Structure 1
Amino acid sequence: MATLQPKEQLSLDGASEQGFLAYYGGLPEKPNTTVRVFDRGDYYTVHGQDALLAARDLFRTNSVVKHLGSGNKKLESVVLSRLNFESLVRDLLLVKHYRVEVYKQKSSRNDWDVEYKASPGNLSQFEEVLFGANNELTVTTGVMAVKLAVENGQRVVGVGYVDVTGRLMTVSEFNDNDTFSNLEALVVQLGPRECLIPMGDMGPDGAKLKQVLSRNPLLVTERKRAEFNNKDAAQDLSRLLHKKGGDVLATSARPEMDRTSAIAALSAVIKYLELLGDESNFGQFTMSLYDLSQYMRLDSAAVRALHVEPLGSGEVSGTTAKTHTILGLLDKCRTPLGHRLLQQWLRQPLVDINKIEERLDLVEAVVSSVELRHSLGEEHLRRIPDLNRLARKLARKAGTLQDCYKFYQCAERLPNLCEAIAKYDGPHVASLAAVFTTPLQELLSDLAKFQEMIETTVDMEQANHGEYVIKPDFDETLADLRETMNGLEADIQSQLKKAANDLGLDAGKSIKLESNAQLGYFFRVTLKEEKVLRNNRNYRMIDTNKAGVRFRNSALQNLNDQHMASREEYNEQQKTVVDEIMNIAAGYVEVIQSLGHVLGTLDCIYALASAAVSAPIPYVRPKLLARGSGVLKLQGTRHPCLELQDDVSFIPNDCHFDKNNGMFHIITGPNMGGKSTFLRSVGAAVLMAQVGSFVACQEAEMSVVDSILARVGAGDCQLKGVSTFMAEMLETASILRSASNESLIIIDELGRGTSTYDGFGLAWAISEYIAKEIGSFCLFATHFHELTALADEVDTVKNFHVTATTAHGALTLLYQVRPGPCDRSFGIHVAELANFPPSVIEYAKRKAGELEDDFGGGDDSEEAVKKRKLEKQEGEKIIEEFLNKAAILDIDNQTEDDLLKEIKKLQQEAQACNNAYVSHLLSRQT
C-alpha cells in the first residue's frame, strides 16, 4: 500500500477532549480483529491499539500518532483524511479479514453510536467506500455458519451459507470424520470470507473445527448459541426467498427444511447479516441444497501447495504477483462478473466429464479464432458493468438514473455481441449458440420494454455529456427549466472567450472550460500558465493540483450559481418521474442477474482462451477419460506460473500413471532439484483441466479425479498452537480418511519434523497404506532414499528421481525426472552452492562418511554410483550369510576361545570374497 499522509489535525477543546476520553474509556472490550473508527465530519480518527495499527500499516511510521489527555490517561490517536480512511478500510476488510465499526456523534455532546459496520463477509454498508465509481467489486463475499450435532452416534455437520451480492442461500448437511475433511472441502469450494460458530465450549470437536477453519483465509466469528436455531426459520425464509411464477410450494415444505442443523446455521447467518431489517431483501434470494460430490474436492493444503489463489495479507499484491498464482495466470477477464466467477470455478473444478468437455469446447472455439477473441476482449466485454451490483442497487431502490442508463447501454451492445459470436464459423458453433447466443437473444426480448422506457424518459443528449436527467418535454415545467439552463450554458460558453482574451490565452487549449457535479462550471489552466492569475483580482482560484489551477471570474460564478440552482430545481421537479422509473427497473432485477451469469461465463471462457494462447508455449486441450479409468499421462508438462518468471528456461517432464503399471510414484533426488516443482506441475495440470482450461503440456490424457489432496511444505502454525510436525500429521490424517482410488494425492517431504527413524517409519507406513489400501494416483517426493525399497514389495509403486551430476566435484542440477531411484543425498553439495565455509564442508563430509558407510573413493560419476550400489547389495548378502552361520554355532558346548576362532574363520571367508563394501566395514572395526 502506498504511504499516505494525514492532512487534518485533531483539535478538541478541553471539555470535549475529557468527554471523549470518558466515553472511549467506557466502551466495552473488543477483539483485536475489530477496528473502531470515529467519523468527525471532515475527517476520521482511530484510537488506542487501532491508532497504532493504522500508523504501522497505513502510514508506515509512528510519527503520526498524537495523544489525547495527559499523564497516565493518555490515549493514542491518529487522524485520517477521507482517502486515508478508504485505504485503511479496504486493507482491513479485503486483505486482513478484520471487522470495522464506524461511530458517529449523535449530538454536540460525546454521545456516539455505531453508524455502520462491516466484516469480510458483509460489505454491503461499505460498498461505496470499497467499490466506488473507480473500484470494481472483484472479490467474492459470503458468510457461512457451522452447527455440529450428533445423530445415531454419527457426527453431523450443518452448514448455512449466504452470498448477499449474488442473492444466494445454500444449505448442506453431512456426516463427517474427526478431521472434518468434508467440511474443509466445502469451505474451499464455497470460499466464504467469514464463518460463524456458536460461542462457548464445543468439546474436542470444537477445537478440531477451529483448526480446520484456521487453515483457510477467513474470519471466524463466535455468535450466541441462541442464534443457531430454526424456530422462526420457515417464516423468515418465506419473506426472503424469491417465488417464481408457478412456484407456490410453501417454504416449510421445501426439501432444504429437512436439514435441521443446516437450517439452524442458515438462521444464524440471516440474523448476523440483518437481512430481515432491509425490505429490499424480501423476495430476492434463491435457496438450494449443496452437494459436495458435484465438484472436485480440494483441501486447503492443496490450494496453498498449487498456488491456486493469493492467500491474503501475506501474499504479494500488484501486477508482478499476477503470475504467481493460477488465478492470476488465468484471470484475463474483462468484467467484475468474470473475475468473481473464475475464482469460483477454480475453487469448484468439475467432476462431470460432459460438463468439463462442454467448457473445453467453448474454450477451443475462442482459441481457434483470433477475430472472435479480439472482438470479445477489446470491443464488447470490457464495456460490461457489474450487473450483480447494479441489480442489488435497483432491488434496494438505491439506484439512480445513471445506473439505469448504464444498463441501457449494456443492453444496446448485446445485439452487436451476438452478431460477433454469430460470425464465428469454426469448431463447436452449436455450443457457442446454445450457451451464449440463444440465452442472450431471449434476455434481449425481455429487455425490450426497459429499453423503450429509458429512450422515452431519459434525455440521451445530456446523458452523453454525463448528466442524467428526464427529457424536458416530459413536463411543461421541466421544459421551461431546460430552456433556462440552455440559455445559461450558452452564456457560460461565451465567458470562455472573454476570459481567454483578458488573460491572453488560447481558448480551449491553454485555458479550458470544464464542469463536474460538485463544483459546476469553472476555468482551468495548467500549472505552467498559473502566473497569469497572480495578482489578478478579477479571478478567484478554487484549488490547485497536478492537473492545473481551477478558477472563476465573478461573471462565471454568477452564471454557475444560477445554473446549479436551475439544475437543482430540475432534479426536484423530475423526482416523481425518476421514482416511477426506479420502481419499474426493480422489476428487471432477475433478468439483470441472469444476464450477468451469461456474460460472466462468456468472460471466463474468453479469459481461459486468452491464457492458453498467450503462454510462452501455447497450452493444449487435455483428453479426458471417465472417472476410474486409472490413467494420467502428461507429456512435456510444465509449471504454468514458473515458466513465466524472468530468466527461467523451464525444463518440461513427463508423468505416466496407469492402474495396470504403477499408481504410486516415489520421487527422490537432491534438494532444489525440481521435485516439488514437478509435483505442483502435475497437480496444476489436473486442476486446470477439470476447471475447463487448456493445460501447460505437450500432450495430456487424464482420468477425471474426485479430489486433489496435498501435504506439501513444512509451514509452522505456531501462532495457532500447531507445530510443524503436528500440522503435517493433521493434513496427512485428513488425506488418509478422505482419499479414494479416484483421487490425486501429492505428498512432499513427509516426516522431516521428527526424528529420522520415526519420520522414515511414518513415511513407509503411509506410503504402503496409500499404495495398497487406497490405490489412488500418488506423487510422493522424499528425502528418505530407503523408501525406494517399497517398490520391491508393492507392484504399483514405481521409483523416479530428479537428475543431477557431481562431475569434477561440482553439483549440476538437471531438473529432469527419470525412472529409477536416487541412491544418495546431495545435501553437502547443496551447502557448497550456498557458499558454506570450506572448513564446515570438509567436516560435514567426514562426519557423513562415518555415519553413511560411504565407500568407493568419492567418485560421483553415474557408473561409480551404480557400481557402489551393486557392491553394497552383494556385501549385504555376504553379511547375511555370515550372520546365519554365526547363529548356528554351538555356544553351549564350546569354550570362548573356540568360538572366537570360529568367528575369525567366518570373517576371513567373508574377506576372501573381495567385496569393497564388506572390506570398508571391516576396516572401521575398533
Structure 2
Amino acid sequence: MTSVTPMMAQYLEIKAEAPDALLFYRMGDFYELFFDDAVAAAAALDIALTKRGKHLGEDIAMCGVPVHSAENYLMTLIRKGFRVAVCEQLERPEEAKKRGSKSVVKRGIVRLVTPGTLTEDTLLEARANNWLAAFAEVRGQGALAWADISTGAFHVAPCPRVRLGPDLARLGAREVVLAEGSDAAAVVEELGAAATPLGASAFDSGSAETRLTRLFEVDTLAGFGAFDRAELGAMGALVEYVELTQRGRLPLLRPPRREAASELMAIDAATRRNLELVRGAAGGRDGSLLWAIDRTVTAGGARLLERRVSAPSAVVEVIRGRLDAVAWCVERDGEAGRARDLLRRVPDLDRALSRLSLDRGGPRDLAAIRGALEGAEALHAALHDTDLPLDIADLVGLEPLHDLLDRALVAEPPMLLRDGGVVAAGFDAELDEARRLRDEGRGVIAALQGQYVEATGIGSLKVKHNNVLGYFIETTAVHAAKMRADDRFIHRQTTANQVRFTTVELSELETKILNAGGLAQEIEARIFASLRAAVLEQADGLFAAARALAELDVAAALADLARGEGWCRPVIDSSRAFEVTAGRHPVVERALKRDGTPFVANDTALSASDGAAIRLLTGPNMAGKSTWLRQNALIAVLAQMGSFVPADAAHLGVVSQLFSRVGASDDLARGRSTFMVEMVETAAILNQADDRALVILDEIGRGTATYDGLSIAWATLEHLHDVNRCRALFATHYHEMTALASKLDGVENATVAVREWEGDVIFLHEVRAGAADRSYGVQVAKLAGLPEAVVARAREVLTALEEGEREGGGKAKAMIDDLPLFRAAPPPAPVPVKASAVEARLSEVLPDTLSPREALDLVYELKQMAGKAG
C-alpha cells in the first residue's frame, strides 16, 4: 500500500468539507482536481485526464485548469449542473518552508460556486438578475425569499405551495434552497433550477430572526415590515446558505422588501412560456417581448425592465406614476435624450459594490463607482430644475466619496491590484516617494553623488554599486585623508588605488531603493483597503443612487420606444374595460419591419361592467388569430408594467391575472401527450381565473377526436362565461361554437377576414365582427407546399364529408366508403423540347472567358434573336 503524501492528505481533508462539490485545489498557477472530481471535470470540460502517483494501490486521476482562465471553466461546470468549491493557498510557499522542509502550504476553501451565488461579471449576464431563492413552509404557511447577491436585492413574499411554480417562473431563479426532504424539489427542477437541500434548523424562524437582525445591525425587523414565521424562515435559510457558500463573507444585502401577491399581475409558468415574455422560443432573449422593447442603456436599467416585464403591477397608482415618467420623457425629448447620453456612460454600480463587499472587487470596481457617481451628479444637475415626476434626490449626496475616489484613483486603473499603478500621483506622499525610488533609483543616487561632490570639493568622487558592498562612495587614495576627516563618511574598504566609504544616508537610501517596489505595493494595498471601506460605509446611499439611475433609464428607454414606434399612453383604471384601437403585436411588428412589411392593426372591444366579456374568434390557420390573441395579452402586460402600448388608443381596467393557453407540445419526461398538456393548462385556468382576469385560449380540444374536442371547448367557454366571469379571447376551428353568441350574453363572435381567388386563399389579417363559415384548411395546405396530388385528394374527401354531413343520417361515413382508392399519378414523362435559337447560342457561351465588351455585344445579339423569334 502506497503511503499518503502530506499534500494528498491535505487534499482529502479539505475535500471532506465539500463532498458534493468539485474541489478546485490551488497549486501554484493551476487549480487541480483529483480522483472522481478529475474524471467528472475532464469529461465536462473536454480537457486531458492524467494521473499523479497512487493512492491505496490505484492511480490518482488528475486534471487541471489555469488560474487566470478559471472563470470560463467555472461557467461551463455551473451550466452543466456542478457545484465547485474553490480552495486557495492561504500562505506563501516561503512561509511554509519556515515550518519545515516537509510542511505543506496552508490551503482552505474560500467559497462554494453555485448557480445562485455567482458574482463575477464573466459568469453573469449583465442585463439580467441572478436570483437565489429559498422556500419555507411553517404550519401550512409557505413563503419565498429571493436575493441577487451580485446586486444586493433582497425580497420576500407569502407563497403557498400552489404559487411556488408561478413565482419561481416569474423570477427565473437559478437555484432554490429547500429544507431537506422537501417534495417541493420536483417543482423547482421542473422549471430548470437547481434544488439545494439545507438542514431543517436553517429554516427555524426564531434563529432566523436573530440572524437577520445581526446582519442588518438592528434590534428588530419591524422597521422593514411585518413578517410571518414562514417568511422569517425563508429569509433566514437564504442568508445562512449565502454565508455558507461565501465562507462567512456576506455580501451587502439590502433590507428585505416584502411583496404582496395582490400588488402584481399573476402570470403562471405556462402563460410566460406561451407569451414569450422574457425568453423566446429558442430559450434566449431573441423573439421575446423583452427583446422587442429593451432600449435601456445601463445594466441596472435593463435588469429593472426585465423585472417589470416579469411582474407587471396591479396597483393603479403605481402604474400611473410610471406612465407619468414615461410621458414626461416623451414630451421632453431634448432633456430625455441628454439624460440617455449621460446614462450610457454610467457603469454597473450594484455589481461593483457587491464584489467589493465580498472582497472580490478590484481597482476597476472602485473606478466603476466613481464613474457612476460622476454620471449621477451630472444627471441631477441636468434634471433637478425640471418637473420630472421621478425622485432624483438620491443621485446626489455622495460628493465627498466621489471626490475621494477622483483624487485617489488613476483615470484607467488596471484589472488587478497587484499590477500596481492604481493610486494617482500626488494622493499619498509616501507612495510617491516609494515610486520615485523604485522608478528613478539611478537618478536619486546621481543627485546624492552631486551633493557629496559639492560638499567635499572632490570632483572624482563616485557613488557605485556591487553585489558585495551594495552602494558605496569611492575616491582615490589622494583624497582619502580628507574623507576620513569628515564624520559623515564611514570607511568600508581600501584597494590598491581606491578607498571606499559609506554614509548613514546612503545606507538608508539603499534600503529604501531595494524595498521601494514592495513598499509601493503595500501602500497601494493599504489605500485600496481604505477606499473600499469608505465605499462600503456609503452602501445605503450607493444602492439608492443605483435605484434612481435604473428608474430613470427605464423611463427614458420606454419613451424612446414610444416615440420611435408611435405607441400611445394607455388609460388605466379600476374598471373592467379592455378597449384597444388599432392594436399591434410588438414582437411581430418589429420582425416584419426588417422585411419592410406593414403590420395590420386591429381593434379589440372586450369591456364589461358586470359579468363576462368574451370574443369567440374563428377563421383559418395562418390568418393571424394567434397573433391577435397574443398582442392583446402583451398590451395588458406593457400597460401594467408602466409602458406606452402599440396602439392608437387603449383603455384598460387593471388585469389581476393573465392566463394564456396558446400552442402546446408533448411533455414526454412526465408521460404527458400534447392533449394532456393542453388539458392540464386549461384546468389551471378554469380553477383559478377571477372576474378581473384576462384569459387567452387558442384551439382548445384540438388534440382529440372532433366531437370530444368540440364538447370540451364548448363546456370550457360556458365555464369562463358563467363561473369565472372574466374577460377572454377564445379562438377555435369549431364553427358550431359560434351559436353560443346567441345563447350567452357576454359572448360575441369575431372572425379574421380572408378572400378566395382562383382556388387560393388570401389572408387580410383583419379581425371583424361575425363568424367564419369554414376553415380553409385545404387551401392553407396548398400554400404550405403539399404535393398537388395530396391537395386534390383532400378536396375529394372534404367534399364527400360535407355532402354526407348535409344529408345527415350517417351518410358521411357512407360517402367516405364509396370514395375510390387513392392512386397517386406517376410523374409525367419528360417531353423533349427543341432548343430555341437563343438557348442554342447560350449553350456555346463560356461566361468566364467573356470580356465586358464581349458580354455587352452578346446581350445585343440575344435581344435581336429573341425579337426575331417573337
Normalising by the smaller structure, the TM-score range is 0.7 to 0.9
- Give me the whole-angstrom Cα distance separating, in 2, the residues matched to 1:242 and 1:330: 40
Contact 1:459–1:472 (CA under 8 A) maintained in structure 2: no
Identity of aligned residues (%): 26
- Give me the whole-angstrom Cα distance separating, in 2, the residues matched to 1:282 and 1:922: 76
Q: 1:474 to 1:662 in 2, by over 3 A?
A: closer
How big is the shift at 1:778? 0.5
Contact 2:571–2:650 (CA under 8 A) maintained in structure 1: yes
Q: 1:92 to 1:732 in 2, by over 3 A?
A: farther
Q: Which residue of 675, 687, 707 maps to 2:657?
A: 707
Partner of 1:849: 799
Structure 2 alignment gaps of length 5 or more:
91-101, 445-511, 819-870
Partner of 1:469: 423
Contact 2:44–2:77 (CA under 8 A) maintained in structure 1: no
Contact 1:241–1:287 (CA under 8 A) maintained in structure 2: no
Contact 1:335–1:385 (CA under 8 A) maintained in structure 2: yes
Q: Which residue of 391, 401, 408 maps to 1:435?
A: 391
Contact 1:98–1:219 (CA under 8 A) maintained in structure 2: no
Partner of 1:504: none
Q: 1:30 to 1:613 in 2, by over 3 A?
A: farther
Partner of 2:260: 291
Q: Secondary structure at the match of 1:274?
A: helix
How big is the shift at 1:285? 4.0
Q: 1:674 to 1:742 in 2, by over 3 A?
A: same
Q: 1:57 to 1:842 in 2, by over 3 A?
A: farther
Q: Which residue of 75, 78, 85 maps to 1:90?
A: 75
Which structure has the larger Rg over C-alpha atoms? 2
Q: 1:373 to 1:53 in 2, by over 3 A?
A: farther
Residue 599 of structure 2 aligns with an amino acid whose one-letter code is F
Greater shift, 386-395 or 582-591, is seen at: 386-395
Residue 423 of structure 2 aligns with an amino acid whose one-letter code is V
Q: Deviations over 1:681-730 (max 9, x none)?
A: 11111111111111111222221211211112112222244432332222
Q: Secondary structure at the match of 1:435?
A: coil
Q: Secondary structure at the match of 2:296?
A: coil
Contact 1:651–1:816 (CA under 8 A) maintained in structure 2: yes
Partner of 1:481: 434
- Give me the whole-angstrom Cα distance separating, in 1, the residues matched to 2:644 and 2:427: 56
Contact 2:583–2:603 (CA under 8 A) maintained in structure 1: yes
How big is the shift at 1:601? 0.8
Q: 1:457 to 1:819 in 2, by over 3 A?
A: closer
Q: Do residues 670 (structure 1) and 620 (structure 2) align?
A: yes
- Give me the whole-angstrom Cα distance separating, in 2, the residues matched to 1:253 and 1:817: 53
Q: Deviations over 1:304-356 (max 9, x none)?
A: 222111269x5246xxx3xx111122222222211211111111211222221
How big is the shift at 1:96? 6.2
How big is the shift at 1:747? 1.2
Partner of 2:294: 331
Residue 197 of structure 1 aligns with an amino acid whose one-letter code is L
Partner of 1:734: 684
- Give me the whole-angstrom Cα distance separating, in 1, the residues matched to 2:106 and 2:711: 66
Contact 2:72–2:122 (CA under 8 A) maintained in structure 1: no
Q: 1:422 to 1:758 in 2, by over 3 A?
A: same
Q: Do residues 309 (structure 1) and 278 (structure 2) align?
A: yes
Q: 1:669 to 1:113 in 2, by over 3 A?
A: farther
Partner of 2:570: 622
Q: 1:81 to 1:193 in 2, by over 3 A?
A: same
Q: Which residue of 629, 638, 660 maps to 2:584?
A: 638
Q: Secondary structure at the match of 1:672?
A: coil
Residue 131 of structure 2 aligns with an amino acid whose one-letter code is G
- Give me the whole-angstrom Cα distance separating, in 1, the residues matched to 2:370 and 2:82: 37
Q: Deviations over 1:789-845 (max 9, x none)?
A: 221211111111222233211122222212112222222222222222233333333
Contact 1:52–1:65 (CA under 8 A) maintained in structure 2: no
Residue 118 of structure 1 aligns with an amino acid whose one-letter code is V
Q: Which residue of 137, 143, 148 maps to 1:158?
A: 143
How big is the shift at 1:674? 1.1
The correspondence of residues 411-560 of structure 1 with structure 2, limited to 5 A, is 411-422=373-384, 429-432=386-389, 434-436=390-392, 438-440=393-395, 444=396, 446-454=397-405, 467-469=421-423, 471-472=425-426, 474-475=428-429, 477-484=430-437, 487=440
Residue 114 of structure 2 aligns with an amino acid whose one-letter code is S
Q: Secondary structure at the match of 1:641?
A: helix
Q: Deviations over 1:507-534 (max 9, x none)?
A: xxxxxxxxxxxxxxxxxxxxxxxxxxxx
The correspondence of residues 36-185 of structure 1 with structure 2, limited to 5 A, is 42=29, 85-91=70-76, 93=78, 99-102=83-86, 116-124=111-119, 127=120, 129-130=122-123, 137-148=126-137, 151=140, 156-173=141-158, 180=162, 182-185=163-166
Q: Secondary structure at the match of 1:414?
A: helix
Q: Do residues 216 (structure 1) and 205 (structure 2) align?
A: no
Greater shift, 359-368 or 720-729, is seen at: 720-729
Greater shift, 811-820 or 770-779, is seen at: 811-820
Q: 1:620 to 1:283 in 2, by over 3 A?
A: closer
Partner of 1:350: 313
TM-score under structure 2 length normalisation: 0.73
Q: Deviations over 1:831-887 (max 9, x none)?
A: 2222222333333333333334468xxxxxxxxxxxxxxxx6xx99xx9xxxxxxxx
Q: Secondary structure at the match of 1:681?
A: helix
How big is the shift at 1:449? 2.9
Q: Do residues 250 (structure 1) and 220 (structure 2) align?
A: yes
How big is the shift at 1:573? 3.4
Q: Secondary structure at the match of 1:771?
A: helix
The correspondence of residues 388-427 of structure 1 with structure 2, limited to 5 A, is 388-396=350-358, 399=361, 402-422=364-384
- Give me the whole-angstrom Cα distance separating, in 2, the residues matched to 1:564 and 1:332: 55
Q: Deviations over 1:63-119 (max 9, x none)?
A: x6667699xx999988756687533433554x6666444567999999998664322
Q: 1:368 to 1:283 in 2, by over 3 A?
A: closer
Q: 1:306 to 1:460 in 2, by over 3 A?
A: closer
- Give me the whole-angstrom Cα distance separating, in 1, the residues matched to 2:86 and 2:252: 30
Residue 271 of structure 1 aligns with an amino acid whose one-letter code is E
Q: Secondary structure at the match of 1:430?
A: coil
Partner of 2:179: 198
- Give me the whole-angstrom Cα distance separating, in 2, the residues matched to 1:237 and 1:843: 72
TM-score under structure 1 length normalisation: 0.69
Residue 250 of structure 1 aligns with an amino acid whose one-letter code is T
Q: Do residues 768 (structure 1) and 718 (structure 2) align?
A: yes
Q: Secondary structure at the match of 1:271?
A: helix
Q: Deviations over 1:421-467 (max 9, x none)?
A: 257xxxxx5344x522x342xxx2x3233244446655779999993
Partner of 2:695: 745
Partner of 2:460: none
Q: 1:113 to 1:413 in 2, by over 3 A?
A: closer
Q: Deviations over 1:562-583 (max 9, x none)?
A: 9997454223235444433433
Q: Secondary structure at the match of 1:286?
A: coil
Q: 1:582 to 1:371 in 2, by over 3 A?
A: same
Partner of 2:466: none
Partner of 1:587: 537
- Give me the whole-angstrom Cα distance separating, in 2, the residues matched to 1:449 and 1:469: 17
Contact 2:618–2:751 (CA under 8 A) maintained in structure 1: yes
Residue 639 of structure 1 aligns with an amino acid whose one-letter code is H
Partner of 2:486: none
Contact 2:156–2:231 (CA under 8 A) maintained in structure 1: yes
Structure 1 alignment gaps of length 5 or more:
1-14, 244-248, 424-428, 492-561, 856-871, 880-917
Partner of 1:906: none
Q: Secondary structure at the match of 2:205?
A: coil
Q: Do residues 359 (structure 1) and 322 (structure 2) align?
A: yes
Q: 1:461 to 1:396 in 2, by over 3 A?
A: closer
Contact 1:239–1:282 (CA under 8 A) maintained in structure 2: no
Residue 113 of structure 2 aligns with an amino acid whose one-letter code is A
Greater shift, 719-728 or 787-796, is seen at: 719-728
Q: Secondary structure at the match of 2:606?
A: strand
Number of residue equivalences: 726
Contact 1:665–1:800 (CA under 8 A) maintained in structure 2: yes
RMSD: 4.4
Residue 380 of structure 2 aligns with an amino acid whose one-letter code is C
Q: 1:485 to 1:691 in 2, by over 3 A?
A: same
Q: Which residue of 606, 620, 637 maps to 1:657?
A: 606
- Give me the whole-angstrom Cα distance separating, in 1, the residues matched to 2:640 and 2:164: 21
How big is the shift at 1:29? 12
Contact 1:230–1:267 (CA under 8 A) maintained in structure 2: yes
Q: 1:747 to 1:187 in 2, by over 3 A?
A: same
Q: 1:754 to 1:214 in 2, by over 3 A?
A: farther
Partner of 1:903: none
